[in-house]
Amino acid sequence: MIDHPSRRGFLGLTAGLTAAALTGCAARPTTGSTSTGGRLRAAFAGGGATEVLDPHLANLFVEAARSKAMFDKLADLGADVSPRPRLAERWEPSADLRRWRVTLRQASFHDGRPVRARDVLASYARILDPKRTFRAKSSLAVIDLANSRAVDERTVEFALKRPFVEFPNVLAAFGAYIVPEGAEDFTKPVGSGPFSFVSFQPGRSVLLKRNPGYWDGPPYLDELEFVIANEESARVNALLGGQVEYAHDLTPTTARQHGSRVTMVRSPNSGTQAFAMKVDRPPFDDPALREAMFLLADRRQLVDTVMPGAGQVGNDLFGKGYQYYADDIPQRVPDLDKARALIRKAGAEGLTVQITTSNAAAGFVESASVLADQIRRAGLKAEVVTGNKDTYWADILTRGSLVSFRSGSMPIETHIAQRLLSTSTTNATRWARPEFDALYDKAVSTADEAARRQTYHRMQEMLHAEGGLLVWGFADWIVGTAANVTGVSSAPANTLDWARFDKVRLG
């Protein structure tokens, strides 16, 4: 019965989740009477002419934040990056984990139409359209849409192509928003989210107003305006000068400098900072050399240099603090003697290690030069190559042997599926092990939570010992707010409570 739990067991689990969500709701007023109102202006980096309001096309942080304000997903990720029900009131799988029955909440779109099972199926069909390229497509690919159906107005039965216990992760996937059936024109978007659309000036501003009928309680704010300021200094200056009340994505330096004048909200474990070694080619196809790299890296120095006071050291594993993270694996500490011995063993003395980096993300070039010094200290030569920032992420899939890497938060299962399987399409370390793939298949078809945790643990042990990802740190996400702003949560970026403005108030 371990592999095939009773339906009751799953109902119990789901009920627990729902209860947690309801307790959360109860703490808040359900009417607007206590609302302090006002307009909150939030400054984000943006994309100018490339910005869109189509939530399925969301790519940038500002697009994700705006989508979240106007639309809902069936589920979203909690603070431990595990899925929580949102538009879906509950979900229950069949015994073989191939059919999932999802019950929707009573919710309505901004134009008054109810959110129905058909809208959910139409939204997913739009994302899965073979002719289109929406970001959530690969996450939703496990759904067998032809055999999925609307049981009634508020019940969807999803058929999957294979048994998949982590299906709720799919419902919470980046960009998997529910739009009204047939929606194609997003110049005046209609969603079911806490705020509804008022006006849009591409590259400048999006103005939204509160949705008094939001199923999760109406927002405290009357209006929410997203404004675009690409330079970090401009976002800080606008905040300091009282032009905005919320400035997204600030640097640790700014936080230290201006922390006394405005409130800095830190979200730990938001960004995984790493170097990716390609395990399929010299020199890092030699496990001894990979281990030498793990041991010569001084993570504390990297964190203190690149994100002083705003990060934690990593242990070569993705997702610190997330559900299923193997936090009992001992922390690696620098051991130069052992690293030198391993380098000798690998016959790599005098070898030049090339670090490929770019300005694609903050801190990349700095961390690469710090690591280069650390490599030199261990007796190797090191060279930093700076690549093109606009094409960096595509380039490092095939090029380079040691490259700067970072990731936002996502469930550990998703990280493995997208980046570490033989079939993964964005596998920057070229990690491809049949036994690892088999463990993944076992994990996602194991209904028993404890057994699944054990399998994920085994996979992380393998990655920690022999993997290609040198995870050296976890960055705090830093957001600045004006003194009168309350309710800004410190959840990891891209989770439910990140950039969640329906819980924010102006005092």
Partner 1 sequence: MSLPRYAARRLLLGLGQVVAVAAAVFLLVEALPGDAAVSLAGDNPDPARIAQIRATLGLDRPPLERLLDWLAGLARLDLGVSIVSGRPVAGILLDGLEPTLVLAGLTLLVLLPLAVLAGVAAAVREGRALDRALTSVSVALYAIPEFALAIVLIAVFGVGLGWLPPTAVGVPGLLAEPAVLVLPLVVLLARPICSISRLVRAGMIDALRSDYVRHALRLGLPVPRVRLAHALPNALAPAVQQVARTTDWLLGGVIVVEAVFVIPGLGTTLTGAVDGRDLPVVQGLALVFATTTVLVNLVADLAAFRLAPRA
For residue 198 the two structure tokens come to 């008022």
Q: How far apart are CA 34 and CA 97, in angstroms?
A: 44
Distance CA 398, CA 338 (A): 31
In whole angstroms, give the CA distance from residue 355 to residue 357: 6
Please confirm whether the linkage preceding 282 is cis (ω < 30° from 0): no
CB of 443 to partner 1, least distance (A): 22
Under 8 Å CB-to-CB from 185, ≥6 apart: which residues?
Answer: none
Containing H/E element for 146? none
Measured distance CA(194)–CA(183) in Å, rounded: 19
Tokens encoding 381: 């030569």
Question: 189 — phi, psi (to 5°)?
Answer: -65, 145
CB of 486 to partner 1, least distance (A): 21
Give 6 or 233: the residue with its C-beta nearer to partner 1: 233
**CB nearer partner 1, residue 391 or residue 484:** 391
At 412, is the secondary structure helix, strand, or coil? Answer: helix
Give the DSSP letter of residue 161.
S
Task: Look at the alpha carbons of 225, 229, 230, 231 in this order and tell me if their dihedral is positive or negative.
Answer: negative
Identify which of residues 331 and 391 has a Cβ nearer to partner 1 in the complex: 391
Q: Which is nearer to partner 1, 110 or 419 (CB)?
A: 419
CB of 238 to partner 1, least distance (A): 4
Nearest Cα to Cα of residue 280 among 175, 118, 445, 399: 399
Cα angle 310, 42, 88; round to 5: 90
Is residue 186 within 8 Å of residue 52, measured between CB atoms? yes
DSSP annotation of 403 reads E
**Is 402 in contact with 354 (CB distance < 8 Å)?**
yes
Nearest approach in angstroms of CB 380 to partner 1 is: 29
Q: Which amino acid is at 312?
A: Q
CB of 451 to partner 1, least distance (A): 31
CB of 127 to partner 1, least distance (A): 13
Which segments of 232-333 are extended strands (E)? 246-247, 263-277, 311-313
- Write out the residues near partner 1 by the rule CB under 8 A: 41, 43, 47-52, 59, 131-133, 135, 137-138, 201-205, 225, 227-231, 233-234, 237-238, 240-244, 360, 388, 390-391, 393-395, 397, 425-426
Q: Nearest distance from residue 328's CB to partner 1, in Å?
A: 30
User: Which is closer to partner 1, CB of 8 or CB of 131?
Assistant: 131
DSSP string, 335-397: -HHHHHHHHHHTT-TTPEEEEEE-TTSTTHHHHHHHHHHHHHHTT-EEEEEE--SSSHHHHHH
Amino acid code (one letter) for 107: A
Tell me whether residue 207 is exposed, middle or buried, using C-beta atoms within 10 angstroms of its C-beta: 0 to 12, 13 to 18, 19 or more. Answer: middle
From the CB of 485, what's the least distance to partner 1, in Å? 16
Query: Which lies closer to partner 1 via its Cβ, residue 204 or residue 381?
Result: 204
CA atoms within 13 A on the CB side of 272: 24
Residue 161 beta carbon to partner 1: minimum distance, rounded to whole angstroms: 17
- Closest to partner 1 by CB, 61 or 109: 61
Between 181 and 393, CB nearer to partner 1: 393
Specify the residue, 228 or 295, whose C-beta has the smaller distance to partner 1: 228
Residue 213 and residue 71: Cα distance in Å, rounded? 13
CB nearer partner 1, residue 74 or residue 239: 239
* Smallest distance from partner 1 to CB 247, Å: 10
Taking the complex as a whole, the smallest distance from the CB of residue 502 to partner 1 amounts, in Å, to 20
**Nearer Cβ to partner 1 (227/250):** 227
Residue 361 Cβ, how far from partner 1 at the closest point, in Å?
A: 8
Query: How many C-alpha atoms does 499 have within 13 Å on its Cβ side?
Result: 27
Rank residues 25 and 394 by Cβ distance to partner 1 and give the closer one: 394
- Of 18 and 139, the one with the shorter C-beta distance to partner 1 is 139
Report the C-alpha gap between 113 and 109 in whole angstroms: 5
Instruction: Kindly give the interhelix angle for 336-345 and 287-296, rounded to the nearest 10 degrees.
Output: 160
Shortest distance in whole angstroms from residue 360 CB to partner 1: 8
